[in-house]
Structures are given as C-alpha cells and as structure tokens.
Amino acid sequence: MIAIIDYDAGNIKSVEKALKMFGEETVITRKREVITGADKVILPGVGAFGEAMANLRKYGLDGALHEVVEKQIPLLGICLGLQLLFESSAEAPGVEGLGILRGKILRIPDKAGLKIPHMGWNSLTFPNKGRLFEGLSEGAYVYFVHSYYLKADDEDIVTAATDYSAHIHASVEKGNVFACQFHPEKSGDTGLRILKNFVELG
C-alpha cells in the first residue's frame, strides 16, 4: 500500500490517479500509523513552502516523515514535496524545512526571455545514476511548474538536472529518500515510467 500524505496541498489527486493506472492500492491520509505502516510514501504538493511546513507540523506529519526515513520506507517527494525535504527556502525566510536532506531552495533568477514561474517541458541530464530513471535515456522531457529550485549541498545525491536561468537539481536520491522537482504524474510516458520505477523498488 502506498500512502499519499494529505496536508491540504494541491495536486494530490492527480498523483493518486497516476498510481491507480498500475493497479496500486493507495490511500490519501494524514494518520501517522497508516503512513509509518505503508510500503511506500509519497509527499506531493503544489503551494507555498511556509504554509506547507505549518500544515505538516499542525498535523504531526513532520514527525511521521522522519519516522518513515528511519524505518527505511521508500519516500518520494514531488515538486513542493521535494523542497520541504530540505533545510530552508528563500520563499519563506526563517521557516525551517524538514531537514531530511541538506540543501537550500532558491528563487529562480530573473533572465530576459524566461518567464517565472517556470512552467513547461524541459529535458533532463543524469549526473548520477538514479533508480527512478531506470530505462530512460538522457534528454528525456518532463513537466515543471515552479518558481523556486533546489541547490543540494551534496551533488552526489543529484540524479537529474536541468537548466532554466539556473542549474536546477531536478531529482535526488539518498538511501530510501527520492524526490523530483518536476511532476512525473503530468509528464506523459516518461513520468509514468518514473513512478513505476518507484512503485517497483525492492
């Protein structure tokens, strides 16, 4: 069973719908015992960093997520879910993230001819081998919607990158923790392959 964490963020239903294409049993929940007893956990989301962290704390989900990591349950953060796994965000100065991974979330710098938020398809490079990208070729296109981007402290955990006014760490993997800045559930066959790779993790 895959637990999809409900913390009043947007875009949760589209993740559930994509997983059901594989016949996966899913539950949208904020119950700690369900989350920590799941086979896999997904932290999706669209929204603001500060409000999202406040909601995670209000529902006690910050502690549940740390327990998921300690128990080595595969965890996938998507979009805002990736950002929340890190230490801080320029979007919400003074608000601490979950701190599960080390790095900062920065605003995409203004650049002539580029719109912010970054909305659209970008190709990926794979600086380090990642289990989410098994069977995919470098240059695969995925769909992004964001104004802030990850700069991870440890580049060894970066499994996919793209460029849009800045060099963006688009996906990371460390132990049982995975995260994508892009939306696999909105990225066509490539995105479905990424989700299927997560679902099939041993």
In this predicted structure, what is the pLDDT of residue 107?
Answer: 97
- Residue 86, judged by CB atoms within 10 A of its CB (0-12, 13-18, 19+), counts as buried
183 counts as catalytic: yes
Q: Which CATH number applies to 2-199: 3.50.50.60, 3.40.50.880, 3.30.70.100, 3.20.20.150?
A: 3.40.50.880
In this predicted structure, what is the pLDDT of residue 10?
Answer: 76
From the candidates 51, 66, 79, 155, give the one annotated as an active-site residue: 79
From the candidates 91, 155, 183, 200, give the one annotated as an active-site residue: 183
185 counts as catalytic: yes
180 counts as catalytic: no
Cα dist. 158→21, 88, 149, 150 in Å?
28, 18, 13, 10
Give this prediction's pTM: 0.96
Q: Which helix (H) or strand (E) holds 122?
A: strand 118-123
Model pLDDT for residues 16-26, shown as the tens digit of each residue = 999 988 888 99
How far is Cα 21 from Cα 13, in angstroms, rounded to an integer? 13
What DSSP string runs through 132-195? GGTT--TT-EEEEEESEEEEES-GGGEEEEEESSSEEEEEEEETTEEEESS-GGGSHHHHHHHH
Read off the DSSP letter of residue 131. Answer: G
In this predicted structure, what is the pLDDT of residue 106?
Answer: 97
Count of CB atoms situated within 10 Å of the CB of 101? 23
What are the sequence ranges of the domains in the chain?
2-199
Q: Which residues of the chain have pLDDT under 50?
A: none
First vs last Cα of the chain: how many Å apart? 14
Cα dist. 177→42, 51, 71, 171 in Å?
10, 23, 11, 11
How far is Cα 144 from Cα 11, in angstroms, rounded to an integer? 13
How far is Cα 120 from Cα 21, in angstroms, rounded to an integer? 23
Read off the DSSP letter of residue 200. Answer: T
Model pLDDT for residues 142-159, shown as the tens digit of each residue = 999 999 999 999 999 999
